[in-house]
């Protein structure tokens, strides 16, 4: 973290001594007990400790907490941050130690905007009973699947039966032959180029001619003959093949026209196979041009495509939204068209097979198939020419948005050999590793020299027992209740929740519901009875990307915060969440929502939160930190009044978040009108921006 200059931070903490205390490691904090355990976080938080761990976790969140990452969800925060937040509410000082097991037995934790389920996973490990609510069904099924206790051996046997049946039905569509011995083997994946045209000819466009680097080998595709080899290009042209160009070629040198996408064709039909990658038992990995037999298999799959019945085609219609609008601009009107014929055959077979399963087995298998779609769509790209990442897949939502590939990668989901993004690999990564970690969680410890080691946390388990009412939570520990519905009206008793820890939408940063439609259209068929798949998206607390967004975020989230006020215990109850945004209106909306709901800011901390080269923010000046906001009901007395902030420097991510937190505290206690609050944020941020 950058060096602090106290003279520049007069207004950024409640007391200078408290800010200094907030940097202490947890083992130092345990020696300074506060008068009441429930308000420890009002005064201190181990920022530097969390910062060090977060800087490690952001690179590989799925490795730090594998059981949480069963299904895709966006903008997840670091589990280490949320574990530390929750640890501050342990009743005994010794239990606030990050590496001490448990600490929240007997407490009820609520996350009213649960998303990826981070709060629930972290709290249940600490022995709490948890309630998670979300209007979107995907967070519900993912959290239920990952928290419900199940024997790993039973899951392994079930998956083996399921995957064997899929391969028996579909494996022949994904076969090829070794170019050396002609023995049949399973395709690992196929690379496809996008068909385009100019005024004088048809072409096929790919990212680049280099397909793979392995040691000193460089495997390339010939732009004229389409042959794949280690040799240099020749000028020999293959009859019938259109020209093969790269993404660097924007316009035809002959006619001068730009190459145009064939928007009148279904999206999957805009691609043609260029290369096949497979593994021969005798000759290892090979890349080859598609043979006549390969093309015949594709033709057979295309013929079966028209016979598949997934229900009304309008159910797959792409509705216009902030992210799905990109699909419509490319004339992709149906989610069906984003999958190859072989991929649709896979989905159809999986839906049929799932009818043979029930309970947790069906839930996990259905969620796993849905997870696999991010790696098995014609929206997937290829980044396997890098020496360090031969064969790597660029998954659908690598950019937190839809992107359209020059070189599309068609995976083989039923390959019995584990490889990136197929069912075998995903079961190993998301289920086997996840369940093993859940049964015996480990954390990282970083010593003074920066060395890391794994620390086992005895007695903790990342799983629990699902209940279906608030009264059932009182019957034991590590119980979870999942509520699919609008968090503006929760079925919870007044003043019954000890702590609310959440990660609300960051204004308009990620359009969760719009992106989630890619999975929901299939989950509706994979797990039709597991959730209410038709829900009112108007209850989603995300700012719409419209010309006039003022008020639409505050209106939705204020009602949710109002419910938090109603259910939170008086005096001891706290609501804690993380937030960041460069946009002044985002902070203004948040301020108004909290003010309307009756909350005051007790303290604000800053922690590291974003990968500095995260693909969805690369090329932008990213906010790499989160403000951790500690709020109490308006009736609570603040330790010290917040003072007015004169400027917010946008030149540094950490400083920016600190000043935004201080400004939030000051404005929540002020008598300024909504328009004055908006104007204040606009002046402080926009008036001091440094070309973000």
248-260 mean pLDDT: 94
Q: Which pLDDT score is estimated for 232?
A: 57
Q: What residues pair up with 482 in beta bridges, in sequence order?
A: 132
Mean pLDDT of the chain: 87
Per-residue pLDDT for 14 more than 90? Answer: no
Q: What is the pLDDT of residue 28?
A: 29
Q: What pLDDT, on the 0 to 100 scale, is given for residue 64?
A: 86
Q: Average pLDDT of 232-258? A: 79
Two tokens, residue 56 = 């490690």
Find, among 464, 456, 455, 453, the residue nearest to 440 by Cα. Answer: 456
Check residue 691 and give its pLDDT: 46
Indicate the pLDDT class of residue 443, thresholds 50, 70 and 90: very high
Average pLDDT over residues 129-153: 96
The pairing of beta strand 243-246 with beta strand 202-206: parallel
The arithmetic mean of pLDDT across residues 656-673, rounded, is: 96
Is 70 exceeded by the pLDDT of residue 24? Answer: no
pLDDT tens profile 324-357 = 999 999 999 999 999 999 999 999 999 999 999 9
Please enumerate in sequence order all residues whose Cβ is within 8 A of that of 628, keeping only pairs 6 or more positions apart, or say none: 45, 81, 85, 576, 577, 578, 604, 605, 606, 607
pLDDT grade for 505, boundaries at 50, 70 and 90: confident
Q: Are 501 and 123 in contact (CB under 8 A)?
A: yes
The percentage of residues in the chain with a pLDDT greater than 90, rounded to a whole number, is 73
Of residues 510 and 159, more confidence is placed in 159
- Domain range 6-149+464-474+481-686, CATH class: alpha beta
pLDDT of residue 537: 67
Please tell me the distance from the alpha carbon of residue 15 to that of residue 12, in angstroms, as a whole number.
9
Distance from C-alpha of 456 to C-alpha of 434, rounded to nearest angstrom? 15
Q: Is the pLDDT of residue 240 over 60?
A: no
User: Among 38-42, 275-279, 461-465, which stretch is predicted with the lowest mean pLDDT?
Assistant: 38-42
| Total Cβ atoms within 10 A of residue 547 | 4
Task: Read off the pLDDT of residues 615-657 as tens digits, 9 standing for 90 and up.
Answer: 433 334 578 899 999 999 998 888 778 999 999 988 899 999 9
- The whole-number pLDDT of residue 385 equals 74
Residues in the chain: 692
pLDDT recorded at residue 421:
94
For residue 331, report the phi and psi dihedrals to the nearest 5 degrees.
Answer: 60, 40
Examine the pLDDT at 388 and tell me if it is beyond 90: no
The whole-angstrom separation of Cα 20 and Cα 38 is 20
Residue 234 confidence (pLDDT):
52
pLDDT bin (cut points 50, 70, 90) of residue 597 is very high
Domain map of the chain by residue range? Answer: 6-149+464-474+481-686, 154-421
Q: What is the mean pLDDT of residues 19-25?
A: 30
651 φ/ψ sector (left φ>0, alpha ψ -120 to 50, else beta): alpha
Lowest mean pLDDT among 44-53, 525-534, 679-688: 679-688
Model confidence at 383: pLDDT above 70: yes
CA distances to 62, 83, 102, 127, 142 from 458, in Å: 21, 15, 9, 12, 25
DSSP 431: I
SS (H, E, C) 317-379: ECCCCCCCHHHHHCCCCEHHHHCCHHHHHHHHHHHHHHCCCCHHHHHHHHHHHHHHHHHCCCC
More confident residue, 475 or 119: 119
């Amino acid at each position: 973290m950058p060096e602090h200059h106290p003279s520049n931070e007069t207004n950024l903490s409640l007391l200078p001594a408290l800010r200094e205390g907030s940097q202490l490691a947890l083992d130092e904090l345990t020696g300074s007990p506060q008068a009441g355990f429930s308000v420890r976080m009002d005064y201190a938080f181990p920022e530097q400790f969390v910062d060090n761990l977060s800087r490690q976790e952001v690179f590989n969140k799925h490795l730090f907490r594998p059981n949480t990452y069963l299904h895709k969800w966006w903008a997840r925060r670091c589990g280490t941050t949320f574990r530390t937040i929750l640890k501050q509410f342990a009743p005994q000082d010794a239990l606030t130690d990050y590496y001490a097991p448990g600490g929240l037995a007997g407490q009820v934790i609520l996350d009213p905007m649960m998303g990826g389920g981070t709060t629930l996973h972290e709290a249940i490990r600490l022995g709490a009973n948890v309630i998670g609510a979300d209007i979107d069904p995907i967070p519900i099924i993912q959290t239920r699947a990952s928290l419900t206790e199940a024997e790993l051996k039973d899951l392994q046997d079930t998956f083996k039966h399921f995957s064997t049946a899929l391969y028996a039905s579909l494996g022949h569509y994904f076969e090829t032959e070794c170019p050396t011995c002609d023995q049949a083997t399973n395709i690992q994946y196929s690379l496809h180029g996008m068909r385009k045209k100019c005024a004088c000819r048809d072409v096929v466009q790919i990212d680049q001619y280099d397909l793979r680097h392995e040691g000193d080998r460089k495997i390339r595709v010939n732009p004229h003959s389409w042959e794949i080899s280690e040799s240099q290009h020749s000028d020999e042209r293959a009859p019938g093949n259109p020209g093969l160009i790269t993404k660097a070629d924007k316009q035809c040198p002959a006619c001068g026209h730009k190459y145009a996408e064939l928007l009148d064709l279904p999206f999957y039909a805009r691609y043609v196979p260029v290369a096949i990658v497979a593994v021969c038992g005798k000759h290892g990995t090979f890349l080859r041009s598609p043979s006549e037999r390969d093309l015949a298999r594709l033709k057979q799959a295309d013929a079966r495509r028209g016979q598949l019945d997934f229900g009304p085609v309008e159910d797959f219609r792409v509705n216009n939204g902030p992210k799905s609008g990109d699909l419509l601009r490319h004339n992709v009107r149906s989610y069906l068209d984003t999958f190859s014929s072989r991929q649709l055959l896979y989905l159809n077979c999986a839906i049929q097979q799932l009818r043979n399963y029930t309970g947790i087995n069906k839930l996990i298998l259905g969620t796993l198939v849905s997870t696999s779609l991010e790696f098995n769509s014609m929206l997937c790209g290829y980044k396997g020419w890098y020496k360090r990442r031969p064969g790597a897949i660029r998954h659908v939502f690598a950019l937190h948005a839809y992107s359209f590939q020059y070189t599309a990668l068609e995976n083989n989901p039923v390959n019995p050999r584990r490889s990136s993004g197929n069912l075998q690999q995903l079961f190993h990564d998301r289920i086997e590793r996840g369940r093993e970690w859940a049964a015996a969680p480990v954390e990282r410890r970083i010593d003074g020299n920066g060395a890391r080691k794994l620390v086992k946390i005895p007695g903790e388990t990342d799983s629990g027992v699902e209940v279906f009412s608030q009264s059932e939570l009182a019957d034991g520990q590590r119980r979870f209740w999942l509520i699919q519905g609008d968090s503006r009206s929760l079925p919870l008793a007044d003043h019954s929740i000890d702590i609310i820890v959440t990660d609300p939408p960051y204004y308009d940063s990620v359009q969760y519901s719009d992106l989630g439609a890619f999975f929901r259209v299939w989950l509706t068929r994979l797990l039709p009875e597991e959730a209410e798949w038709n829900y009112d998206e108007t209850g989603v607390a995300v700012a719409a990307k419209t010309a006039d967004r003022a008020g639409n975020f505050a209106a939705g989230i204020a009602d949710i915060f109002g419910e938090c006020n109603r259910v939170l215990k008086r005096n001891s109850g706290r609501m804690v969440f993380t937030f960041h945004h460069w946009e002044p209106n985002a902070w203004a909306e948040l301020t108004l929502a909290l003010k309307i709901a009756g909350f005051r800011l007790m303290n604000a901390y800053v922690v590291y939160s974003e990968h500095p080269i995260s693909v969805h923010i690369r090329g932008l000046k990213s906010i790499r930190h989160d403000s951790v906001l500690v709020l109490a009901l308006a009736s609570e007395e603040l330790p010290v009044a917040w003072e007015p902030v004169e400027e917010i420097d946008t030149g540094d991510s950490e400083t920016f978040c600190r000043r935004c937190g201080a400004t939030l505290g000051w404005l929540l206690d002020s008598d300024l009108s909504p328009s004055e609050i908006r104007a204040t944020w606009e002046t402080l941020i926009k008036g001091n921006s440094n070309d973000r």
